[in-house]
Amino acid sequence: MAGNQTKKRVSIVQVELVKESSFLYKSRFCSSPESAYELFAPFVEKKDREHLVVAGLNTKAEPTIIHVAHIGTVNQSIAMPREILKPLLLSNSVACIVCHNHPSGNVEPSETDIAFTRKLNEACELLNITLQDHLIIGSNGDYYSFRSEGYL
């Protein structure tokens, strides 16, 4: 019977990270909630829907990549850790900061935000990537840092 089986074609692939553009980050290092806010605010602060963005960091806490991992609705963004971690692995990041916005302006985390942060932190730990912080940015310059509030 083994001789009659149809052969399966297996693809040989190459994976690469594609640079779309770049920008100058004046702070250079991203090692505090304030510097993370400065990095992420231009990407999420005035958006009308939730955007989840990740920054990959090198060993000196310098951001090397920024990736928009998910764009959601006016009140939710359902991103999976795999979409967040993929660009970090491809760029050899050793740490990351995740950020999402609350278009309502209220930066208090929901239970879903808290559970997501814990799940992402566990996934990062498995891959030896440090989740340095998770920020929630409102629409008026306000932000919430999970690290500062003791969740990380």
Of 18, 71, 26, residue with least CA distance to 47: 71
Map out the domains of the chain as residue ranges.
26-145
99 vs 4, residue with greater confidence: 99
pLDDT score for 2: 60
Summarize pLDDT for 33-87 with one digit per residue, the tens: 999 999 999 999 999 999 999 999 999 999 999 999 999 888 878 889 999 999 9
Work out whether strand 51-57 and strand 95-101 pair parallel, antiparallel, or are unpaired: antiparallel
User: Which DSSP category does 78 fall into?
Assistant: -
Note the pTM of the prediction, 2 decimals.
0.89
**Residue 140, helix vs strand vs coil:** coil
Summarize pLDDT for 20-29 with one digit per residue, the tens: 999 888 888 9
Cβ-count burial of 152 within 10 angstroms (0-12 exposed, 13-18 middle, 19+ buried)?
Answer: middle
What sign does the CA torsion over 49, 72, 15, 54 have? positive
Torsion of CA 130, 60, 53, 148, to 10 degrees: 60
User: Which DSSP category does 5 fall into?
Assistant: P
Average pLDDT over residues 10-31: 90
Tell me which fold the domain 26-145 belongs to.
Answer: Cytidine Deaminase; domain 2 (3.40.140)
